[in-house]
Chains A and B, each alone.
Chain A
Amino acid sequence: MAVIVEVLNKQQKVTERHKFLQPQVNLGRAFDNDVILFNKHVCPYHAVLQQDEEGHWWLEDLSSVNGSFLSGRKAVVARELLRSGEICWLGEQALRLYDDAHPVAATMPFSVIEQRLQAMGHWAFILLFALILATDQVAEIWLTLSKQMEHMWPARLLDIPRSLLLFCILPAILALWSRFNQQESHFMPQLSLTYAAAACGTLWGAFCFWLGFNLDGSGMAQGVEVVGYTLILTALFSGNFCLATHWSPRFRTAVALALALLATSGQWANLLTPPSPFDRSLRYDARILPLPFYLGQGKDIQQYEQDLQQLFEQVEQKRQYKDKQ
């Protein structure tokens, strides 16, 4: 029965894989070993793997300087039995042993989501999303830059490539992470995904501005806005992890949601904490657009006064509620 010896790095990722048909395998730094190790704390002739008549493999330490260990840092005094899949250490060098009958994980089918995400890495998509982002920023400059500040146009426009570059940081980190994990870097799909999420965010922001204006700044509109941002970020992170890791869908969604909530925690806090009486500045929604953007009718004075009476009642209840506390 053949034996497979895996050489592992510090993160216990496989760096080499050897298969032997003979019953004895020599391990050490010397060049006449079967598995030649690099680690300077390993002896030239450190240990031997031996198969007994029943087919079990034993690790024998050859009186090495730094010793050999099994899982749980159990020292190998003379020789110890190794089970298939078990990790052992020669000094600090980790090895894993498998016999050839050891089961392997099921074949992972192509994931539709992953394929779609990879397809997003096409430059045309990246350009489209980048254009949406740039248009939004140009619109913002156009809306806010006053006449006196017209000379600031070029400087403000230069901010656009800078912000587009800033969006590259996340995909770059994810690509590096993937490389470390010996997977495809997927930089372009990650970049495309990030731009897409940012573009969605700006479009959602514009829609919520309009919605908030139409719903007269109601708390519901603000809630919808924050939920939307959280969902966009969850989708982004979930996609990122799908491309960069082999996590299960449930796990990566959970991590993505947690990260998204963390990223939007300021907005959530703003939405959920009651205003403080210490605030001299009042908290209200001042969003306003030209009248044609308003779909409703508006209220006449009589209806308005009824609303205000309700407001007085609510505030009076709040006062009494606090008194009771």
Chain B
Amino acid sequence: MLRKTWTSLVWLVLCCWSAQSYSAAVAEKVFADYADALLQVKVLEYASGAKSAIGSGFLLADSDLVVTNYHVVSEAVLFPQKYQLEFLAQNQQKGTLEIVAVDVVNDLALLKTDYKAAKSFQLQQQPPVQGAAVYSLGNPHDLGLIVVPGTYNGLQKHSFYPRIHFTGAINSGMSGGPAVNEAGEVIGVNVASAGNDLGFLVPAAALKTLVEKAVVSDLKQDIQQQLLDNQQRMFQQILQADWQLKSFGPATVPDEIVPFIRCWGTSNVEKDKDDVKRVNAFCNQPEEIFLSSEFSTGRIEMQFEWIQAKDLHPLQFFRRYQFSISQMNADNRAGQDDVTAFSCNNQLLNPAEGQHAKAIFCIRAYRNYPQLFDVAYISASMDHQQQGVVSHFTLSGVDQQIALAFSRKFIGAVVWQ
């Protein structure tokens, strides 16, 4: 019996050791085979000659294009007069890069180069199986090219954008590097990390679509079209969905209306001392589309607050209620050159027969991407003297038609029972 246990233990240790050494050997081979096709991408400022951003990139077979993340090269896309792109190969060869196409939604960029590698990367045609070994390549923190072994864990759940969940450490500077299988075929592009060995990859399919796309003349106009199409797709799902409503105090409010919108809640019910009871619910689609270092878009947020007073005069209650609707903020970052200032409409509204609410609707326009707006809405129900429901949403990067359709559906969904 004892002997048997020992034997199995020895087997176990041997297996583990060999698995580890196997993985290391594959990583070494992948790295040796493809080191040539891995590049460091640098964004250089013309004026100072210094680098303002670095990332990783890789050479794609057949097309001879370099792939990297849009967020690595965004400055060069938006300000071509101010920045230029340069690559540094493993053999210290340098050269310039030229932007061919970008996909801001999937954070990808294709760059033209005259650099040739002995062996360049192929895309994997079939998605890998859950648990398959994946090797992420890149140049973290400008420390030199490295390979990080990890596991493929399928597509990220609750995400509108397809993203591969990669269990392995992706660090800053590895953005734009490839993640490959044992045969060296690209299954995705490093894009983001959530810390603690939790990384995300853009699937190879998105890259394939971008490579096959026709060449565009005006990159900014193309970006605008991508944003318009993306919000159209996202809100089509949201508007067509049969909204799940949940009861929220005396009213109903929208819940997790689509899989990529998640909700949370808090309250101060246990704090008996407070003279108003506050219950909060919060839903959002947190994934942003990176446009520049100070401009992001694509988030959706909804927030509800049920406020109930205990023995307060209506005037006292409404003073507290006013505070709840007085501090609305924009949900996304934007600079002065990116957007106009917010303009607001302030109106007493009858959302349904016999119901009244104070509604504030604010929008700002995107300066460089016509037809796109950020929207912020807050309303406070006014039909009761001692309690009320505040409902709030922000949308970023939507067109007028979608903003109005969403508002209509949202206002219709928040009703007193």
Contact = CB atoms under 8 A, between A and B. Distances in A.
* Interface residues of chain B: helix, strand, loop or mixed (majority): mixed
Contact of B342 (A283, A288, A300): A283
Contacts of A314: 343
Contacts of B339: 277
Interface string B337-377: 01111111111111100001011111111110010010010
B301 to A, nearest CB: 14
B363 A315 contact: yes
Interface string B273-284: 111100000000
A281 B81 CA distance: 33
Interface stretch (A26-34, A77-85, A178-186, A316-324): A316-324
B334 interface: yes
A124 interface: no
Given A278-B336, A323-B367, A288 B322 contact: yes
B304 interface: no
Contact of A282 (B275, B362, B411): B362
Contacts of B334: 277
A56 interface: no
Interface in B361-417: 361-367, 370, 373, 376, 380, 382-383, 385, 400, 403-404, 407-408, 411-412
A38 B365 CA distance: 77
Interface string A281-316: 111111111110010111111001101110110111
Contacts of A319: 340, 365-367, 370
B356 A275 contact: no
B356 A148 contact: no
A287 B382 CA distance: 12
Interface of B: 273-276, 310, 314-316, 318-322, 325-330, 334-336, 338-351, 356, 358-367, 370, 373, 376, 380, 382-383, 385, 400, 403-404, 407-408, 411-412
A216 interface: yes
A308 B376 contact: no
A280 interface: yes
B355 to A, nearest CB: 9
A274 B370 CA distance: 22
17 contacts: A144-B319, A146-B275, A146-B320, A216-B347, A280-B329, A288-B322, A288-B325, A288-B380, A291-B356, A294-B356, A298-B350, A305-B407, A312-B373, A312-B403, A319-B366, A319-B370, A323-B367
A165 interface: no
A286 B326 contact: yes
Contacts, number: 145
A298 B356 contact: yes
Nearest to B326: A286
B315 A289 contact: yes
A142 interface: yes
Interface of A: 142-144, 146-148, 216-218, 274-291, 294, 296-301, 304-305, 307-309, 311-312, 314-316, 318-319, 322-323
Contact of B408 (A146, A281, A285, A305): A305
B267 to A, nearest CB: 17
A281 B394 CA distance: 13
B361 A318 contact: no
A307 B347 contact: yes
A315 B364 contact: yes
Nearest to A289: B318
Contact of A147 (B273, B350, B400): B273
A284 B400 contact: no
A146 B316 CA distance: 9
B359 to A, nearest CB: 7
A236 to B, nearest CB: 28
B347 A284 contact: no
Contacts of A144: 319
Contacts of B347: 216, 298-299, 304, 307
A311 B346 contact: no
A18 to B, nearest CB: 68
Q: Chain B CB within 10 Å — which of A142, A280, A311, A312 has the most?
A: A312
A290 B314 contact: yes
B343 A305 contact: no
Nearest to A143: B319
Given A312-B400, A318-B365, A284 B319 contact: no
A199 to B, nearest CB: 20
A288 B379 CA distance: 11
